Chains A and B, each alone.
Chain A
Amino acid sequence: MKLFGLLLLLVPGVAHAEGGKVVGAVTPARADVVVYLEGLPSKPMEENHPQIKQKDQQFSPRVVVVEKGQTVEFPNEDKIFHNVFSVTDGSKFDLGLYKSGESKAVTFKHPGVVDIYCNIHPNMVAKVKVVDSTAHALTGDDGRFTLADVPAGTYPVVAWQPYGAEWRGQVTVKSGATVELAIPLAPGKPETGHLRKDGTPYGRYK
């Protein structure tokens, strides 16, 4: 038992008591930054399926954070065809052509970043950040985030953005307490192009 207790102390983020809260903001303030804690392995959430809609020839939202093993729905709300796909290593999928009223789903099994595109409309771009963590949040327009019900402990904290480098730090959460984090995160440049699902460039500009 002594050895087991020592192991518990060495493993970051193992729950000890009542949860605390981590709040903060990224600077410069902006939305769609994913802030999450490592060391809190995700649990399957079959009932919770986030959506990435295809609406007005755009993905909405353009950034989604999900836990490893979580399923995302891709409903088409446009009355034109879209073809959602990803060629990200380890998370490749191709949902084929479908129109308004139909929805297809993908389960994301591996942590990482999955780039989502439409094979018809090159301007449709979304990113799914898959985390192996139960403590994660997306920043709002004001750059602020809240991680609630975090078990007391010390955890690596990561701020990931769709374009540009991520920020890594550490946070110690105490039972019933709120920790404030200020995360400096220089924005990167968005990508200027990508290929179709078959590896060819998109066709004529229309």
Chain B
Amino acid sequence: MRAPAVLALTLLVAMPARADDLSDRIEKLEDELRETQAQLKQVQPIVGRISGYIDFGFFRVSGDGSGIRPDLGNVVFPEYKSIIPGGSWVFMGDPLSTTINARGEPADTGPSRAIMFNPVHAGSSPSFILNALNVSLFAGIGETVVVQGIFDLAPRSRNVSSPDGTFLGDFLDVKLAYVEWRPKIDAFALSIFAGKFDSVLGIEYRSEESPDRIGVTPSLICRYTCGRPLGLKARARFGDDLFVINLALSNGSSFLEMFPFYNETDVNDGKTVSARISTKLPIGTGLELGVSGMIGPQDNQTSDSVLQYHIGADLHLEAGDLDLQAEVVKGEADGATDPTPGAPPCGVAPCLDYKGAYGQLAWRLTNWLTPYARVDWRNALHQSGASFIYISDLMRVTGGLRLELGTSVIIKAEYTVNRELGRIPQFDDDIFTSVLVVKY
């Protein structure tokens, strides 16, 4: 009995010492942890990340690869015979209707005179293409400032024997470059942007990058809504996106750089104002409804009194495994005509009158497979004196499959039936295109 009693007594005497020792060690560890965290904060005042993707594709467009045909002999649209005799610069169709990648590049621009840059220039040939090596730079400066840049490295062929310079060759496309300030406000979430930022118009800009886009190609109206203007922007979000308002003051419109109504630096004094108001209703993951508009001096001309405007409405519903997105737009660029009697219309500044829409439905069939379908339509008249007239009235139907293999690999393939409407005769311009997108 004596030995256990001695042992118990020894333990009782030793326990407080042991507890003190543990307490000291915990305190020391806590001090070291605090010191390590402080050092970590000192060496990481700017936390950044580099990401991006490689977008490799294969495509074929029927016909001659372009989405336009000249009205030779003014046979279909004789009303333009007095402006452009012979009709070789009266174009029927849409030069951006045969796009083959997320960048919105057509397989070929054919004889186009408004859209001259022909970066793919494949005609009707089936071709592999490295659509883009995309790089995204992101840096958080503290908790409230973000710097974001996105650019594409686009390898394209350059015909060194071509004297007309339309073959640019490999190029760098800076798509986004802005600083965003997110001040801490209790009542709502505010962001203020300066630089080259995302469009305010519509919602398709959100899926402009290849991994984000459900399908491969942009809609027919993306040229009006997906461009990234330069200037200042503010966005306020109230109550878990129940109400969101965007307001921007920029040099020019949100038209795509591919489209000839866009200027990064301004050539007129007036600035363009654009805005979007949206609400998100608690249906499924959320039913988002928005209206947007833009008004300002027409791009690429010097007068402040020549205006262009744009109005649109959009819808996005995610419910269960379904994703429905739709937009409708309408707009006009006034252009300007030489007052001299007999001068062709829109000879001083080009005129554009357009409307269009699309609807896209995707169904996440499994974790890795998403079939999708899109219908889009565009009706537009774009003319510039005796230089060109484009008469566009077309509808496209696209069906495709999206496969996601793990977290980094996406394979997409789609077929688009391209149908000219109204008086425009049918011609071959259907599109098959596919991509392998690997994110890093």
Q: Do these two chains really belong together in a complex? A: yes
The interface of chain A, by Cβ under 8 A from chain B, is: 56-58, 79-81, 97, 99-101, 123, 189, 192-193, 195, 198-201, 203-206
List residues of chain A with CB within 8 A of the CB of B286: 57
B364 & A79 in contact (Cβ 8 Å cutoff): yes
A205 & B235 in contact (Cβ 8 Å cutoff): yes
List residues of chain A with CB within 8 A of the CB of B187: 192
A200 & B364 in contact (Cβ 8 Å cutoff): no
A203 & B148 in contact (Cβ 8 Å cutoff): yes
B140 close to A (CB within 8 Å) = yes
A47 to B143, CA, bound (A): 41
Interchain residue pairs A-B with the least CB separation, the first 3? A200-B140, A79-B364, A56-B285
Smallest beta-carbon distance A39→chain B, Å: 23
Smallest beta-carbon distance B124→chain A, Å: 36
Closest residue on chain A to residue B407 by CB atoms:
A97
The interface of chain B, by Cβ under 8 A from chain A, is: 44, 47-49, 138, 140, 143-144, 146, 148, 182, 184-189, 191, 198, 206-207, 212, 235, 237, 240-241, 284-286, 318, 320-321, 364, 366-367, 407
A101 to B185, CA, bound (A): 38
15 A-B residue pairs with Cβ-Cβ distance under 8 Å, sorted by A, are A56-B284, A56-B285, A56-B318, A81-B407, A100-B367, A123-B240, A123-B241, A189-B186, A192-B184, A193-B182, A195-B140, A198-B49, A200-B49, A204-B148, A205-B237
A57 & B285 in contact (Cβ 8 Å cutoff): yes
B138 & A200 in contact (Cβ 8 Å cutoff): yes
A193 to B318, CA, bound (A): 23
List residues of chain A with CB within 8 A of the CB of B47: 198-200
A193 & B321 in contact (Cβ 8 Å cutoff): no
B240 & A206 in contact (Cβ 8 Å cutoff): no
Closest residue on chain A to residue B239 by CB atoms:
A190
Smallest beta-carbon distance B197→chain A, Å: 9
List residues of chain A with CB within 8 A of the CB of B144: 201
Contact of A99 among B148, B207, B320, B367 (CB under 8 A): B367
List residues of chain A with CB within 8 A of the CB of B318: 56-57
Closest residue on chain B to residue A125 by CB atoms:
B240
B143 & A195 in contact (Cβ 8 Å cutoff): yes
Chain B facing A: main interface SS: loop
Smallest beta-carbon distance A161→chain B, Å: 17
Contact of A101 among B184, B198, B364, B367 (CB under 8 A): B367
List residues of chain B with CB within 8 A of the CB of A201: 140, 143-144, 146, 182
A204 to B321, CA, bound (A): 23
Smallest beta-carbon distance B411→chain A, Å: 16
Smallest beta-carbon distance A117→chain B, Å: 14
List residues of chain A with CB within 8 A of the CB of B44: 199
Chain B CB count within 10 A is highest, among A97, A101, A193, A205, for A205
| Additional pairs, 16, CB under 8 Å, beyond known A192-B184, A200-B140, A206-B207 | A57-B318, A79-B364, A123-B241, A192-B185, A192-B186, A192-B187, A192-B189, A200-B49, A201-B140, A203-B138, A204-B148, A204-B198, A205-B191, A205-B235, A205-B237, A206-B206
List residues of chain B with CB within 8 A of the CB of A97: 407
Smallest beta-carbon distance B317→chain A, Å: 12
A79 & B407 in contact (Cβ 8 Å cutoff): no
List residues of chain B with CB within 8 A of the CB of A205: 191, 198, 235, 237
List residues of chain B with CB within 8 A of the CB of A79: 321, 364, 366-367
List residues of chain B with CB within 8 A of the CB of A80: 364
A79 to B366, CA, bound (A): 7
A192 to B367, CA, bound (A): 31
Closest residue on chain B to residue A123 by CB atoms:
B240
A203 to B237, CA, bound (A): 15
Smallest beta-carbon distance B404→chain A, Å: 9
Chain B CB count within 10 A is highest, among A192, A199, A201, A206, for A201
List residues of chain B with CB within 8 A of the CB of A101: 367
Closest residue on chain B to residue A203 by CB atoms:
B138
A205 to B190, CA, bound (A): 12
Smallest beta-carbon distance B126→chain A, Å: 33
A81 to B368, CA, bound (A): 11
List residues of chain B with CB within 8 A of the CB of A57: 285-286, 318
A81 to B212, CA, bound (A): 13
Closest residue on chain B to residue A57 by CB atoms:
B285
A81 to B367, CA, bound (A): 9
A199 & B407 in contact (Cβ 8 Å cutoff): no
A100 to B189, CA, bound (A): 30
List residues of chain B with CB within 8 A of the CB of A56: 284-285, 318, 320
B49 & A192 in contact (Cβ 8 Å cutoff): no
A198 to B184, CA, bound (A): 19
A100 to B370, CA, bound (A): 14
List residues of chain B with CB within 8 A of the CB of A199: 44, 47, 140
Smallest beta-carbon distance B422→chain A, Å: 36
A204 to B407, CA, bound (A): 19
A205 to B321, CA, bound (A): 22
A206 to B199, CA, bound (A): 12
A123 to B182, CA, bound (A): 16
List residues of chain B with CB within 8 A of the CB of A198: 47, 49
Closest residue on chain B to residue A80 by CB atoms:
B364
Smallest beta-carbon distance A199→chain B, Å: 6
List residues of chain A with CB within 8 A of the CB of B206: 206
List residues of chain A with CB within 8 A of the CB of B184: 192-193
List residues of chain A with CB within 8 A of the CB of B198: 204-205
A97 to B439, CA, bound (A): 14
Smallest beta-carbon distance B40→chain A, Å: 9
A100 to B237, CA, bound (A): 29
A198 to B51, CA, bound (A): 14
